[in-house]
Amino acid sequence: MRVLEEHELERVGGKKPIKVDVRVIAATNQDLEARIGKGEFRQDLYFRLNVIPIHVPSLREHSEDVPMIAEYFLAKYSLEHNKRPKRVTNDALAILKSYKWPGNVRELRNIMERLAILTPGDEITPADLAGVIPGVERPYPIPHTDHGDPIETSMGRFDRSPLKDAIAACEKEIIERRLDACGGNVKRTAEELGLERSHLYKKMRALGIDPSKRNGN
């Protein structure tokens, strides 16, 4: 309060006040007036901070912007993770718009990153939202390689896993299945996955896949 009222502060152990010229921006998702009524927030601090209030609506209050924001995050994370650009179908966009987004923009961001990484095709459809958006129960499509070969993964097992763990588990399963299909030949597996051989070896070590236990090299 002293800093806000008098624009000065004292260092710990200091002997004289120091003038400061700052502007304070405070944000909260709490109903501060209700908290004041319960004695859980100082009224004088509230009035000192509440000079120019700006209401930032939650995502559910401007659902018409969800498609634009979703496509922005999708493009961003596709580029960051070196994935092919994807588009969201109109049916999938309708689902995203109707969802209430209790986690606000952060939830939308995390979901679009997950979809950018894990969606096998060039389109995100309602089937890709199964297990991602509550209430969407349609089964996952079987992912395919760039050559059109199916890769059967157990993605449903990772529906409630943290994104990092789900990505690692899916990558491990895909690599192991492709290794088995290639008879343990790492060079051929790398070619089919579109990876450099050295990069595949590095990823296998990180995922706990021991190349020495596979046939071929």
Q: Tens digit of pLDDT for each residue in 35-88? A: 999 999 999 999 999 999 998 888 989 999 999 999 999 999 999 998 888 999
pLDDT beyond 80 at 212: no
Residues 6+ apart with CB under 8 A from 115: 74, 86, 124, 128, 129, 132
DSSP 143: P
Angle at 75 between CA 202 and CA 161, to 5 degrees: 55
Top CATH class of 57-141 equals mainly alpha
pLDDT of residue 69: 95
| CB proximity list for 213: less than 8 A, separation 6 or greater | none
Question: Which tens digit of pLDDT belongs to each residue from 103-139?
Answer: 899 999 999 999 999 888 889 988 888 888 887 765 4
Right CATH number for 145-217 from 1.10.10.60, 1.10.287.70, 3.90.1420.10, 3.10.130.10?
A: 1.10.10.60
Average pLDDT over residues 81-96: 90
CA 212/CA 141 separation, integer angstroms: 33
Per the model's pLDDT, the better-predicted residue between 159 and 28 turns out to be 28
- The pLDDT assigned to 152 comes to 47
Q: Which residues contact 95 (CB under 8 A, 6 or more apart)?
A: 126, 129, 133, 136
**What pLDDT is attached to residue 211?**
67
Listed by start position, the domains of the chain span 2-49, 57-141, 145-217
Q: Count of CB atoms within 10 A of residue 151's CB?
A: 16
Confidence of residue 167 (pLDDT cuts 50, 70, 90): confident
pTM over 0.85: no
